[in-house]
């Protein structure tokens, strides 16, 4: 079986502007639109209309590097286009991967455009892997995000073995909503042995059966909680931030009207955190030795293969008509909650 390089599966989401933090603390921005002049302003809040701190101004180019912004732990950038085809356009953007020292696959799902031209708000919904290994500097950073809700999608066994670390005195709500299989350990081992040469099929079953069907009501509860404005910003996480979290976020983005190609692209970004995912899942892989499977045979389980999520979205629509249909029929999410989520999470 050929070795798959994780980065080869990454699909860069189609966004108007993207930003990444450089090693020296500066930020690099890239954009697609053409303009005679581009001004980049640093903001403390994504919804702010006050653009007081000019971070960069360039003429015509489609990339820029800002100075370091030590006073802004979580900077947002307003990119203002003047002249040319993009004249008058203003785009707000932030770094998608958050700079936690020991965090795993911690990302903001903001900035994605919907089919009707709206945009998912930044700083409202985050996704990640385990919080068990966060260091004090991470907790201080996390505290500044203003999280109001943390939904842990791991099994009770996983939570007990590696409980979340959260900021001291944190005033939000932590809830456990495991999206794990109801099948017992022996049956899981049998399935793993049977399908060790068809791991893509195993993951598809996990997504559609274990997560979506067996835990539909837990998913519905989390959507209902997220629909309450006082529960945002919110974080959804599992062990790696790839599978259970990936399905949850895919449902949310699809319900908001984000196109499938963008949803799948966001899912594949977990491949950029493959090294950290491999470390955190090492113990789980070693347990496969008990059923006569070498950990190396399970390496594809650590990949975010775009075809796995495409299959899952197709399966949901074939059975329920749409993702919103699944949320209403299987997960018990009311139309009122769906409307509130669209109103609260889209700009």
The 10s digit of each residue's pLDDT in 242-276 is 999 999 999 999 999 999 999 999 999 999 999 99
One domain, residues 11 and 79: yes
Tokens 């990949």 correspond to: 303
Last residue of a domain, one of 61, 95, 129: 95
One domain, residues 63 and 114: no
One domain, residues 135 and 23: no
Residues 118-141: tens digit of each pLDDT: 999 999 999 999 999 999 999 999
Name the 3-class secondary structure at 155.
coil
Is a pLDDT exceeding 90 seen at residue 204?
A: yes
Burial class of residue 189 (count of CB atoms within 10 Å of its CB; 0-12, 13-18, 19+): middle
Tokens 């089919």 correspond to: 115
**Rounded CA separation 226/105 (Å):** 21
Mean pLDDT for the stretch of residues 220-226? 98
Q: Which of 175-184, 198-207, 311-320, 331-340 has the lowest mean pLDDT?
A: 175-184
One domain, residues 119 and 19: no
The two structure tokens encoding residue 22:
């450089």
CATH assignment of the domain containing 39: 2.60.40.10
One domain, residues 145 and 249: yes
Name the 3-class secondary structure at 92.
strand
Is a pLDDT exceeding 90 seen at residue 326?
A: yes
Q: Would you say 6 and 105 are in contact if contact means Cβ atoms under 8 Å apart?
A: no
Is a pLDDT exceeding 80 seen at residue 297?
A: no
C-alpha distance from residue 242 to each of 13, 112, 245, 288 (Å): 16, 18, 6, 20
pLDDT of residue 201: 87
One domain, residues 159 and 282: yes
pLDDT of residue 193: 61
One domain, residues 284 and 177: yes
**Closest CA relative to residue 126, chosen from 156, 162, 167, 95:** 95
One domain, residues 34 and 139: no
**Rounded CA separation 2/129 (Å):** 27
**Closest CA relative to residue 202, chosen from 281, 127, 305:** 305
One domain, residues 174 and 113: yes
pLDDT exceeding 70 applies to what percent of the chain? 89
pLDDT of residue 331: 98
pLDDT of residue 149: 98
Question: What letter does residue 257 receive in the DSSP assignment?
Answer: T
Name the 3-class secondary structure at 282.
helix
Number of separate domains in the chain: 2
**Rounded CA separation 170/183 (Å):** 35
Q: Is-above-0.85 flag for pTM?
A: yes
pLDDT of residue 199: 77
Q: Would you say 107 and 122 are in contact if contact means Cβ atoms under 8 Å apart?
A: no
Residues 76-108: tens digit of each pLDDT: 999 999 999 999 999 999 999 999 999 999 999
Last residue of a domain, one of 63, 95, 127: 95
Mean pLDDT for the stretch of residues 29-34? 94
Helix (H) or strand (E) holding 107: strand 107-108
The two structure tokens encoding residue 36:
């005679």
Mean pLDDT for the stretch of residues 32-48? 91
Mean pLDDT for the stretch of residues 283-310? 76
Is a pLDDT exceeding 80 seen at residue 296?
A: no
Average pLDDT, the chain: 91
**Rounded CA separation 104/272 (Å):** 11
pLDDT of residue 295: 61
For the four alpha carbons of 144, 149, 155 and 157, in that order, the dihedral sign comes to: positive
One domain, residues 304 and 167: yes
Last residue of a domain, one of 65, 95, 125: 95
Q: Would you say 174 and 237 are in contact if contact means Cβ atoms under 8 Å apart?
A: no
One domain, residues 23 and 112: no
Tokens 């979506």 correspond to: 212
**Rounded CA separation 241/127 (Å):** 7
The one catalytic residue in 238, 251, 255, 323 is 238
**Rounded CA separation 292/298 (Å):** 12
One domain, residues 71 and 179: no
- Catalytic residue status for 151: no
* Distance from chain centroid for Cα 229: 19
Q: Which of 66-75, 212-221, 227-236 has the lowest mean pLDDT?
A: 66-75
pLDDT of residue 31: 96
Burial class of residue 195 (count of CB atoms within 10 Å of its CB; 0-12, 13-18, 19+): middle
Name the 3-class secondary structure at 31.
strand
Q: Which domain holds residue 295?
A: 98-345
**Rounded CA separation 82/84 (Å):** 7
Alpha helix (H) residue ranges in the chain: 136-144, 156-161, 185-194, 199-205, 216-226, 244-256, 260-268, 274-280, 282-286, 306-320, 323-329, 335-345
CATH assignment of the domain containing 286: 3.90.190.10
Assign 73 a pLDDT band (cuts: 50, 70, 90): confident
pLDDT of residue 53: 79
Q: Which of 20-34, 210-224, 277-291 has the lowest mean pLDDT?
A: 277-291
Residues 51-60: tens digit of each pLDDT: 567 888 999 8
Q: Is the peptide bond before 233 cis (omega within 30 degrees of 0)?
A: yes
Q: Would you say 267 and 250 are in contact if contact means Cβ atoms under 8 Å apart?
A: yes
Is a pLDDT exceeding 50 seen at residue 184?
A: no
């Amino acid at each position: 079986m050929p070795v798959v390089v994780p980065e080869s599966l990454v699909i860069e989401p189609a966004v108007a502007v993207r930003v990444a933090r450089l090693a020296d603390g500066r930020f690099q921005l890239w954009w697609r639109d053409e303009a005679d002049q581009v001004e980049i302003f640093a903001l403390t809040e994504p919804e702010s209309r006050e653009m007081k701190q000019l971070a960069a101004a360039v003429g015509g180019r489609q990339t820029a590097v800002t100075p370091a912004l030590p006073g802004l732990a979580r900077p947002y950038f307003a990119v203002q286009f003047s002249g040319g085809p993009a004249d008058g356009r203003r785009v707000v953007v932030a770094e998608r991967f958050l700079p936690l020292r020991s965090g795993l696959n911690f990302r903001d799902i903001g900035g994605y455009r919907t089919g009707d031209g709206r945009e998912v708000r930044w700083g409202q919904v985050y996704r990640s892997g385990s919080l068990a290994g966060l260091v004090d500097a991470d907790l201080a950073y996390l505290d500044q995000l203003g999280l109001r809700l943390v939904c842990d999608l791991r099994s009770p066994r996983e939570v007990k073995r590696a409980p979340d670390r959260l900021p001291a005195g944190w005033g939000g709500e932590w809830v456990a909503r495991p999206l794990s299989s109801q099948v017992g350990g022996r049956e899981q081992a049998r399935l793993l042995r049977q399908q060790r040469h068809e791991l893509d099929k195993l993951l598809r079953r996990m997504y559609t059966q274990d997560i979506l069907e067996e835990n539909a009501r837990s998913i519905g509860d989390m959507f209902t909680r997220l629909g309450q404005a006082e529960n945002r910003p919110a974080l959804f996480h599992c062990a790696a931030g790839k599978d259970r979290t990936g399905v949850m976020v895919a449902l949310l983005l699809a319900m908001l009207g984000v196109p499938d190609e963008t949803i799948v692209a966001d899912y594949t970004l977990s491949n950029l955190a493959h090294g950290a995912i491999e470390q955190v899942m090492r113990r789980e892989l070693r347990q496969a030795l008990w059923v006569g499977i070498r950990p190396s045979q399970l390496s594809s389980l650590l990949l975010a293969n775009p075809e796995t999520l495409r299959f899952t979205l197709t399966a949901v629509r074939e059975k329920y008509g749409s993702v919103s249909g699944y949320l209403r029929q299987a997960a018990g999410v009311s139309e009122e909650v769906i409307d509130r989520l669209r109103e609260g999470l889209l700009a």
